[in-house]
Amino acid sequence: MAEDKAVLITGAGSGIGEACAHAFAAAGARLALADIDKAAAERVAEACGGAAAVIEADCGDVASIEAMVEAAASALGGLDASVNNAGVTRHADIMELTEQDWDRIHRVNSKGVFFCLQTVARQMIAQGRGGRIVNIASIAGRGFKGTSNAAYAASKGAVISLTKTAAQQLGQYDINVNAVCPGVTFTALVEQLVRDRSAARGISAEEMRRSMEAPIPIGRGNDPADIAALCVFLTGPDSRNVTGQSWNVDGGLVPS
Protein backbone atom coordinates (compact mmCIF):
# COMPACT_ATOMS: atom_id res chain seq x y z
CA MET A 1 0.00 0.00 0.00
CA ALA A 2 0.99 3.63 -0.48
CA GLU A 3 -0.27 4.72 2.94
CA ASP A 4 1.37 7.97 4.08
CA LYS A 5 3.74 7.93 1.09
CA ALA A 6 4.48 11.20 -0.71
CA VAL A 7 3.53 10.75 -4.36
CA LEU A 8 3.85 13.14 -7.31
CA ILE A 9 1.57 12.53 -10.32
CA THR A 10 2.01 14.44 -13.58
CA GLY A 11 -0.82 14.94 -16.03
CA ALA A 12 -3.11 14.55 -13.04
CA GLY A 13 -5.93 16.70 -14.37
CA SER A 14 -7.58 14.01 -16.48
CA GLY A 15 -7.46 10.45 -17.77
CA ILE A 16 -4.91 8.05 -16.31
CA GLY A 17 -3.40 10.75 -14.10
CA GLU A 18 -6.80 11.53 -12.61
CA ALA A 19 -7.45 7.82 -12.00
CA CYS A 20 -4.04 7.53 -10.33
CA ALA A 21 -4.88 10.44 -8.04
CA HIS A 22 -8.05 8.71 -6.89
CA ALA A 23 -6.32 5.35 -6.46
CA PHE A 24 -3.41 6.74 -4.46
CA ALA A 25 -5.72 8.87 -2.33
CA ALA A 26 -7.78 5.76 -1.54
CA ALA A 27 -4.54 3.98 -0.58
CA GLY A 28 -3.71 6.72 1.92
CA ALA A 29 -0.95 8.52 0.03
CA ARG A 30 -0.13 12.21 0.35
CA LEU A 31 -0.38 13.73 -3.10
CA ALA A 32 1.10 16.41 -5.30
CA LEU A 33 -0.96 16.71 -8.48
CA ALA A 34 0.70 18.46 -11.42
CA ASP A 35 -0.86 19.47 -14.72
CA ILE A 36 -0.42 22.19 -17.32
CA ASP A 37 -4.12 22.91 -16.68
CA LYS A 38 -4.06 23.89 -13.01
CA ALA A 39 -7.83 24.25 -12.81
CA ALA A 40 -8.23 20.63 -13.93
CA ALA A 41 -5.77 19.44 -11.28
CA GLU A 42 -7.61 21.49 -8.66
CA ARG A 43 -10.89 19.78 -9.61
CA VAL A 44 -9.23 16.38 -9.21
CA ALA A 45 -7.71 17.39 -5.87
CA GLU A 46 -11.12 18.48 -4.64
CA ALA A 47 -12.66 15.19 -5.75
CA CYS A 48 -9.91 13.34 -3.86
CA GLY A 49 -10.69 15.15 -0.62
CA GLY A 50 -9.00 18.49 -1.21
CA ALA A 51 -5.77 17.79 0.70
CA ALA A 52 -3.46 17.36 -2.30
CA ALA A 53 -0.88 19.95 -3.30
CA VAL A 54 -1.70 21.28 -6.77
CA ILE A 55 1.09 22.43 -9.09
CA GLU A 56 0.88 24.03 -12.50
CA ALA A 57 3.65 22.51 -14.62
CA ASP A 58 4.67 22.15 -18.25
CA CYS A 59 6.26 18.71 -18.43
CA GLY A 60 8.03 19.58 -21.67
CA ASP A 61 10.03 22.38 -20.04
CA VAL A 62 12.99 21.48 -17.81
CA ALA A 63 12.80 24.60 -15.66
CA SER A 64 9.10 23.94 -15.05
CA ILE A 65 9.85 20.31 -14.17
CA GLU A 66 12.52 21.35 -11.67
CA ALA A 67 10.17 23.87 -10.06
CA MET A 68 7.42 21.22 -9.93
CA VAL A 69 9.58 18.67 -8.12
CA GLU A 70 10.87 21.29 -5.69
CA ALA A 71 7.32 22.42 -4.92
CA ALA A 72 6.08 18.85 -4.49
CA ALA A 73 8.93 17.87 -2.18
CA SER A 74 8.46 21.04 -0.15
CA ALA A 75 4.71 20.50 0.21
CA LEU A 76 4.96 16.81 1.08
CA GLY A 77 8.19 16.71 3.06
CA GLY A 78 10.07 14.83 0.33
CA LEU A 79 9.05 12.35 -2.35
CA ASP A 80 8.63 8.59 -2.05
CA ALA A 81 7.17 7.93 -5.50
CA SER A 82 6.29 9.58 -8.78
CA VAL A 83 4.06 8.63 -11.69
CA ASN A 84 5.33 10.27 -14.87
CA ASN A 85 2.10 10.29 -16.81
CA ALA A 86 1.87 13.57 -18.75
CA GLY A 87 1.71 12.99 -22.49
CA VAL A 88 0.31 14.23 -25.80
CA THR A 89 -0.60 12.79 -29.20
CA ARG A 90 -2.87 13.17 -32.22
CA HIS A 91 -4.14 10.74 -34.83
CA ALA A 92 -2.10 10.89 -38.04
CA ASP A 93 -0.81 8.61 -40.76
CA ILE A 94 2.97 8.35 -41.01
CA MET A 95 2.97 10.44 -44.19
CA GLU A 96 0.91 13.20 -42.54
CA LEU A 97 3.25 13.83 -39.60
CA THR A 98 5.13 17.11 -39.56
CA GLU A 99 8.26 18.31 -37.83
CA GLN A 100 6.00 20.27 -35.49
CA ASP A 101 4.11 17.08 -34.58
CA TRP A 102 7.37 15.25 -33.86
CA ASP A 103 8.74 18.06 -31.70
CA ARG A 104 5.49 18.56 -29.77
CA ILE A 105 5.08 14.85 -29.02
CA HIS A 106 8.68 14.12 -28.10
CA ARG A 107 9.00 17.31 -26.06
CA VAL A 108 6.56 15.91 -23.50
CA ASN A 109 6.47 12.15 -24.03
CA SER A 110 10.19 11.36 -24.14
CA LYS A 111 12.18 14.46 -23.14
CA GLY A 112 9.65 15.34 -20.46
CA VAL A 113 9.52 11.85 -18.98
CA PHE A 114 13.32 11.71 -18.88
CA PHE A 115 13.72 14.99 -17.04
CA CYS A 116 10.84 14.23 -14.67
CA LEU A 117 12.57 10.95 -13.84
CA GLN A 118 16.01 12.55 -13.48
CA THR A 119 14.79 15.42 -11.31
CA VAL A 120 12.73 13.16 -9.05
CA ALA A 121 15.65 10.73 -8.76
CA ARG A 122 17.93 13.58 -7.75
CA GLN A 123 15.48 14.46 -4.98
CA MET A 124 15.24 10.82 -3.84
CA ILE A 125 19.02 10.36 -3.80
CA ALA A 126 19.39 13.48 -1.64
CA GLN A 127 16.80 12.12 0.79
CA GLY A 128 18.64 8.81 1.11
CA ARG A 129 15.56 6.66 1.61
CA GLY A 130 15.07 5.19 -1.86
CA GLY A 131 11.91 5.55 -3.89
CA ARG A 132 9.71 4.35 -6.72
CA ILE A 133 9.33 5.83 -10.18
CA VAL A 134 6.62 4.70 -12.60
CA ASN A 135 6.70 5.88 -16.21
CA ILE A 136 3.55 5.67 -18.30
CA ALA A 137 4.57 4.25 -21.68
CA SER A 138 2.22 2.46 -24.11
CA ILE A 139 1.87 -0.70 -26.15
CA ALA A 140 2.48 1.71 -29.03
CA GLY A 141 6.11 1.48 -27.99
CA ARG A 142 5.97 -2.29 -28.58
CA GLY A 143 4.74 -2.04 -32.16
CA PHE A 144 0.95 -1.91 -31.71
CA LYS A 145 -0.39 -1.29 -35.21
CA GLY A 146 -3.32 0.73 -33.91
CA THR A 147 -1.11 3.47 -32.48
CA SER A 148 -2.26 7.06 -32.92
CA ASN A 149 0.87 7.85 -34.95
CA ALA A 150 4.47 6.81 -35.55
CA ALA A 151 5.98 9.72 -33.62
CA TYR A 152 3.92 8.76 -30.56
CA ALA A 153 5.03 5.14 -30.91
CA ALA A 154 8.66 6.24 -31.07
CA SER A 155 8.26 8.41 -27.99
CA LYS A 156 6.78 5.55 -25.99
CA GLY A 157 9.48 3.16 -27.19
CA ALA A 158 11.95 5.69 -25.79
CA VAL A 159 10.19 5.54 -22.41
CA ILE A 160 10.47 1.74 -22.34
CA SER A 161 14.20 1.88 -23.09
CA LEU A 162 14.73 4.71 -20.59
CA THR A 163 13.02 2.68 -17.90
CA LYS A 164 15.43 -0.23 -18.33
CA THR A 165 18.55 1.93 -18.23
CA ALA A 166 17.33 4.05 -15.34
CA ALA A 167 16.54 0.97 -13.27
CA GLN A 168 20.07 -0.33 -13.81
CA GLN A 169 21.70 2.94 -12.82
CA LEU A 170 19.41 3.97 -9.96
CA GLY A 171 19.18 0.59 -8.25
CA GLN A 172 22.26 1.41 -6.17
CA TYR A 173 20.18 4.13 -4.49
CA ASP A 174 17.27 1.74 -3.79
CA ILE A 175 15.17 3.47 -6.44
CA ASN A 176 12.90 1.16 -8.44
CA VAL A 177 11.94 2.25 -11.95
CA ASN A 178 9.16 0.56 -13.91
CA ALA A 179 6.89 1.40 -16.81
CA VAL A 180 3.24 0.69 -17.44
CA CYS A 181 2.17 0.17 -21.06
CA PRO A 182 -1.56 0.78 -21.43
CA GLY A 183 -3.45 -0.68 -24.34
CA VAL A 184 -6.72 0.78 -25.55
CA THR A 185 -7.74 2.99 -22.64
CA PHE A 186 -10.83 5.15 -22.85
CA THR A 187 -9.56 8.45 -21.49
CA ALA A 188 -10.81 11.84 -22.69
CA LEU A 189 -7.82 11.99 -25.05
CA VAL A 190 -8.67 8.62 -26.60
CA GLU A 191 -12.36 9.45 -26.78
CA GLN A 192 -11.41 12.48 -28.89
CA LEU A 193 -9.36 10.20 -31.13
CA VAL A 194 -12.41 7.91 -31.39
CA ARG A 195 -14.54 10.84 -32.53
CA ASP A 196 -11.93 12.00 -35.03
CA ARG A 197 -11.40 8.56 -36.51
CA SER A 198 -15.11 7.72 -36.64
CA ALA A 199 -15.82 10.98 -38.46
CA ALA A 200 -13.03 10.26 -40.95
CA ARG A 201 -14.47 6.79 -41.62
CA GLY A 202 -18.10 7.87 -41.73
CA ILE A 203 -19.18 5.63 -38.86
CA SER A 204 -20.54 6.28 -35.38
CA ALA A 205 -18.25 6.75 -32.40
CA GLU A 206 -19.77 3.62 -30.83
CA GLU A 207 -18.95 1.58 -33.95
CA MET A 208 -15.40 2.95 -33.85
CA ARG A 209 -15.08 2.03 -30.20
CA ARG A 210 -16.31 -1.53 -30.86
CA SER A 211 -13.83 -1.92 -33.70
CA MET A 212 -11.00 -0.89 -31.37
CA GLU A 213 -12.05 -3.45 -28.77
CA ALA A 214 -12.72 -6.30 -31.21
CA PRO A 215 -9.07 -7.52 -31.47
CA ILE A 216 -8.55 -7.55 -27.69
CA PRO A 217 -8.48 -11.19 -26.50
CA ILE A 218 -10.22 -10.38 -23.23
CA GLY A 219 -12.86 -8.44 -25.14
CA ARG A 220 -12.70 -5.03 -23.51
CA GLY A 221 -10.57 -1.91 -23.40
CA ASN A 222 -9.17 -0.40 -20.23
CA ASP A 223 -10.77 1.94 -17.81
CA PRO A 224 -8.12 4.40 -16.53
CA ALA A 225 -8.55 2.79 -13.11
CA ASP A 226 -7.02 -0.42 -14.50
CA ILE A 227 -3.77 1.46 -15.11
CA ALA A 228 -3.90 3.24 -11.76
CA ALA A 229 -4.20 -0.05 -9.87
CA LEU A 230 -0.89 -1.29 -11.29
CA CYS A 231 0.79 2.04 -10.52
CA VAL A 232 -0.24 1.74 -6.88
CA PHE A 233 1.13 -1.82 -6.75
CA LEU A 234 4.45 -0.75 -8.29
CA THR A 235 4.95 1.83 -5.56
CA GLY A 236 4.02 -0.47 -2.69
CA PRO A 237 5.96 -2.93 -0.50
CA ASP A 238 4.91 -6.03 -2.42
CA SER A 239 6.86 -4.87 -5.49
CA ARG A 240 10.11 -4.03 -3.68
CA ASN A 241 12.20 -6.25 -5.98
CA VAL A 242 10.38 -5.37 -9.20
CA THR A 243 12.41 -2.93 -11.31
CA GLY A 244 13.37 -2.31 -14.91
CA GLN A 245 10.15 -3.86 -16.21
CA SER A 246 7.51 -2.60 -18.62
CA TRP A 247 4.09 -4.02 -17.84
CA ASN A 248 1.35 -4.29 -20.47
CA VAL A 249 -2.20 -3.59 -19.36
CA ASP A 250 -3.96 -4.34 -22.63
CA GLY A 251 -6.21 -7.38 -22.30
CA GLY A 252 -3.67 -9.54 -24.14
CA LEU A 253 -3.58 -7.36 -27.27
CA VAL A 254 0.21 -7.17 -27.73
CA PRO A 255 2.83 -9.66 -26.53
CA SER A 256 5.28 -8.20 -23.99
Q: Cα separation of 231 and 5, whole Å?
A: 13
Q: Cα separation of 80 and 201, whole Å?
A: 46
Q: Out of 152, 175, 180, 183, pick the active-site residue.
A: 152
Torsion angle defined by CA atoms of residues 133, 34, 147 and 183, in that order, rounded to the nearest 10 degrees: 60
Instruction: Assess whether 152 carries a catalytic annotation.
Output: yes
Q: Cα separation of 89 and 149, whole Å?
A: 8
CA atoms within 13 A on the CB side of 227: 32
As annotated, the active-site residues are 152
